[in-house]
Amino acid sequence: MIVKYNGTSFIKYDSTNFSLNRGFIRAFKIDKFSNVWFSIFKYKTNNDTLIKFDGANFINVYPSDSTYLGHVEDICWDTTGIMWLATTNGLYKYDGADWTNINTSNSPLPSNSCGPIICDHKNNLWFASGKSVCVYNPAGIQYNISEVIEKPDGSIEHQASPNPSTGMIIFDFALPWPAVVKIDIYDENGTNVANIQPQNYNMGHNSYIFDGSNLANGTYNYRLKTNDKFFSGRFVVLR
């Protein structure tokens, strides 16, 4: 059974009022078109079925009873709109027509048991695989995360966007370790014009949104301080 709350009342959907199969519901997500996606665990087959609810009908999307999907642990969409499932049988990619299974037999995936999955702004998929944290990119699956986001010189990937900006600035940075990060902003004369208090950030991709509406037009330098390292960049404010 799934339940929808419309602000005033709860609406129940199950086998009594819809053709919704019985089973344990898992991996519940909503796409950008407001379609509801979830999987139902079938006790008889020890397998999950992926269901799409378009607001009117429940649609059995995948798989057929003869295809082993395993248990769906999480669902996400990449920046191109492709759906990804993290399951107990590896990753599944769905482009709207075809399905592709990525597992230990056809890739360097550490384990077929995949957990939470998320896509960053550069279309990298981050997910758990067994006891490892993985990122999937055009070069393949990397299970040593520091090889992906820490450069040979010890620096990290970071940027300020949009650049130029009219005032609202997003600082994106990827950490190969959990860390406390402090951000300072300087004008062209080296004057410290803004201090962002230190915050704890997780390993992987992180973002901080800064309101620079009080900054005058010009070029600014920012400095990220994490542990004993400093990383700097530049952005322009132009209105």
- pLDDT tens-digit map of 90-113: 999 988 888 888 888 888 888 999
Q: What is the pLDDT of residue 183?
A: 94
Please give the residue that has the higher pLDDT: either 175 or 67: 175
Written as one letter, the residue type at 41 is F
How confident is the model over 215-226, as pLDDT tens digits? 999 999 999 988
Q: What is the pLDDT of residue 42?
A: 64
- Architecture in CATH of 2-143: 7 Propeller (2.130)
pLDDT band at residue 148, thresholds of 50, 70 and 90?
very low
How confident is the model over 183-197, as pLDDT tens digits? 999 999 899 999 998
Residue 147: pLDDT over 50: no
Q: What is the CATH number of domain 158-237?
A: 2.60.40.2550
pLDDT band at residue 166, thresholds of 50, 70 and 90?
confident
Q: What is the pLDDT of residue 140?
A: 54
CA 65 – CA 48 distance, rounded (Å): 9
How confident is the model over 226-237, as pLDDT tens digits? 877 888 899 999
CB burial string 69-99: b at 16+ within 10 A, e below: bbbbbbbbebeeebbbbbbbbbbbbbeeeeb
Q: Which parts of the chain fold into alpha helices (H)?
A: 146-149
Q: Where are the domains of the chain?
A: 2-143, 158-237
